[in-house]
Structure 1
Amino acid sequence: MTAPLLFILAALALTLSPQKAAADAALIILDRGQLPFELGPGHPANSPTRPGNAPHASWNSGANTANGGSVWQNRPSNPANENRLIFTAHGDVLGYYAPNAGGVLNLFDVNGRRVAYRPARGTKSLFSTSGQWCGTVDSPRGGGMVLAMTPECARLFSGHGG
């Protein structure tokens, strides 16, 4: 892990509410200019044009039923998703995440609308359902998950943005 990302994660850890479960995911807004090359969209593994990252790749596709909001594992009413909340540093819940059997990590808004995904292999990058590079995901040592997203992609949780 690089020093800038460690700094971001350390600062985030200081601001998070202690009552959040370890499986929840904190969302922070990233400054793309501060992101190391190996985590950004310029790195070949993280490129939106890489076939395995594309929204139409079979495991990433919205047409794949494993990624749909109507499947039990992805519904907001599934009790398992209550432990996979995506929240801001202020404690506001934006949505939840749900992994599928193929290894894709799906991000949903509070109404169960899929807004982004992380492909199963080769990258820690997040992509919007339209294929735009959205940010990166990391699992800090203490457990849980941190999502670092561009402002445009973070707005997708409210139905706005790229």
Structure 2
Amino acid sequence: MDSDPDVEWSGVDAGFSPNANTMRAPDVSVAPPPPRKKGWISGVPPLAVEYADQGQNEADLEKKIKELLAAGTRYIWVVRLTGPQRVEVHAKGVRMRRYSASDTLVAPGILRNPVPVRALFDRRSAHRATLRNLLQREGYEDLASVLRAGARKGKA
């Protein structure tokens, strides 16, 4: 997600403080660049990703989801590592939706590109998504665009 052309900042276990009495650190956060000061980041990220495996305290996870959504997080993706590959998407005022490994996730206004669910589990899929994003950051739509540009320059 960090490589998405529209992402300016992301963090792993970055600490956010939605209010003076609450501290939350999503596994992965996508947010505007925080101020350059030490300590917790005020507010919440627009997109938070939580990885849930065996032993996950579901009550704590539900509390975290509710607090983040109430404080302004737009999307929370819960990546379930146990059982079939799937992601639960939580958004304020919308019923939770489950996505399978063959689906893609979107976060309009946060990420430019859809994220294949498989890329959250599979390294090769993640590399493909990252390559697409990095090429777009350099002005190319995809690898075929790079090859066409190279062929044009080779003939010039």
Task: Give the TM-score taking structure 1 as reference length.
Answer: 0.28
Tell me: higher relative CO, structure 1 or 2? Use CA pairs within 8 A at least 6 residues apart: 1
Task: Give the TM-score taking structure 2 as reference length.
Answer: 0.29
Structure exhibiting the larger radius of gyration computed from Cα positions: 2
